[in-house]
Amino acid sequence: MELEESDVYLYDKIVEGWERTETERGVPYYICHKTECTSWNHPYYQKIIEELDEYRDIRYAAYRTAFKIRHIQKRLKLHHVKLTAMVEMFDCHGYQESSDTVIGCEELQDLLTSVYQTADHSANVTIQQAEILAQLLQNLILNLFDLDRTGCVRVCSVKQVLVILTSARLADKYRALYKELTDPSTYISCSRLTTFLQDLCQLPDLLQEGAVFSGDVTATINSCVNMGDSSGGISEDQFYSWLLREPQTLVWIPTLHRLAASETVKHESKCNICKTYPIIGFRYRCLQCFNFDMCQQCFYMGCTKKKHKLKHPIQEYCLSTTAKVDTKAFLKTLRNNISKKHRQKCRRKYLPVVAESNLFSHTTGLRREPPAPDIHNTLTQRIQQLSSAETQYTESADNDAFSQHRHLERIIEQLKEENKRLQEKILTMRESSDTESNVSGGSRPLSAVSPGEDPYYKTPIISKLKSSNQPLSPIVAMKSPEEETPQSRGPQYDSLDYLEVSPSHFTLPSLTNSRECLDEEEAMDALVNKMQLIFPSNMSYSAYSLSKCGVEQDEMLQAASTIGSAMTDFVSEAIMTHHQ
């Protein structure tokens, strides 16, 4: 990814609308708010992977894989990072050789950023670009070694992949790999070699080339072990010899370096198929046909012309050739056409460990991709759950409110019924009280009153006479209460003399009636005064008093009769005045 001005504009356009976030374990993932989707992959990294489709028409798996890895290497600017500088940065962060520790995503991001800051000055990698490139490389490493997105990867695995992708000679890379794999006895154990092969096979597997270069690595390990006689492990010379023979599982590594070496090489030859001149990159010469050259594009596509066949032996040139090399190739071609005995067959440039029919298979690997967190779908589900919960709560609240309303209505009805019963009871008690009041309010005869009992009903005359402290004569002619009727009794005077003391009926006298009673009381006072003038104060009306006084009985009766007549007239006059 050459982040020049045009590339920066393209990068900004691609990442527009995307947001980088992290899981609880610190694993980065990306959210697009425009399309409401989430992905583990950086949007620009995804574009780089999509660009690899232009190499799908290459016929041979080793070249196809090498071209894909080279494309990623250049896009991530790893070809500007020196192998020695990368190793030094690992050492500075405390990850020395043969380190089996694990590293988290945050530490990995810081480590990769520092690695990019050691790039060549010709790359012009700024701090901001180093952070972006570190994010893309981190994305690649997590896709290789942390499919489940646990947030941890082995330092040894990261370092081995960077040894392959950084810039160095092939021999220097082999030495660096040997230092990473050796134990203190300077030998490589079969278990460490197995882990090493499995880690490196993840790279072609990620590029959908796992059908050829991945799978069981037992045959590859056996081919390395069988080359030595030491039982303690794999020695350094044995390891180098095995790699130089280019085992089929790792054949894409030397092919990648030849591809990188021939990218800018120009051959002073013309392609006999597409007529391209000069040939840039790989140049292929047929050792069966005379003076028949092909460019790398025609060779990868399996193009033929005239008598040239795909089964003819081919010589590959990644660097410019000299006249001596061309002459040597011409002599080989001449010998192949003249003598069948010396006719060369197309030799393999690698150590085969699987069937040849599987070598050119272009089957997509069965690599399991981790499911990306769908934050928008999660939010939608949470919103639906909240809406459902709110609906249920609303329905429950409505039901509770309705139940409470019905309960209150029942309570109100009960209170109304209770109020009605209380009112009926109060009316009944009032009627009973009025009845008792009427019964108890009637006058009883004086003879029915016990000596120590005050009568409920008293006349004004008796009350006045009692207050005057004068003895009463039993011969005074007064009408009996039993003989009185409501019509003869006349109206009841609303005065204190007629006050009924029953607790169920108590009525205060009105102002008008009270004045009338006061006039009657004044008249009664005048009558009493007249009686006191007529009769002496020590006069007794009883039989005992008469006998004591020695007064004749006829005179007393006459006096009593005169007094009774006067009192009757006075009372009648008073009553008539009251009625008027």
Query: 513, 491 in Cβ contact below 8 A?
Result: no
Which of helix, strand or coil describes residue 284?
A: strand
Query: What is the structure's pLDDT at 107?
Result: 94
232 Cβ neighbours under 8 A, 6+ residues apart: 185, 187
- The CA–CA distances, whole Å, from 477 to 326, 469, 561, 563, 574 equal 182, 20, 8, 10, 18
* DSSP 8-state assignment for residue 535: S
Query: What is the structure's pLDDT at 212?
Result: 82
For residue 455, count CB atoms less than 10 angstroms from its CB and return exposed for 0-12, middle for 13-18, buried for 19 or more. middle
Query: What is the structure's pLDDT at 381?
Result: 75
For residue 463, count CB atoms less than 10 angstroms from its CB and return exposed for 0-12, middle for 13-18, buried for 19 or more. middle
Distance CA(266)–CA(280), nearest Å, equals 5
Query: What is the structure's pLDDT at 210?
Result: 83
Which tops the pLDDT comparison, 39 or 473?
39
pTM above 0.85, yes or no: no
- The CA–CA distances, whole Å, from 264 to 60, 260, 281, 282, 366 equal 22, 9, 6, 10, 35
Q: What is the pLDDT of residues 522-539, one digit of tens each?
A: 666 666 665 555 555 444
Mean pLDDT taken over the chain: 76
Q: What is the pLDDT of residues 216-234, one digit of tens each?
A: 788 888 888 888 776 778 8
Q: What is the pLDDT of residues 370-385, one digit of tens each?
A: 666 666 667 677 777 7
7 Cβ neighbours under 8 A, 6+ residues apart: 1
Which range of 62-76, 94-108, 300-314 scores highest in mean pLDDT? It is: 62-76
Query: 80, 122 in Cβ contact below 8 A?
Result: yes
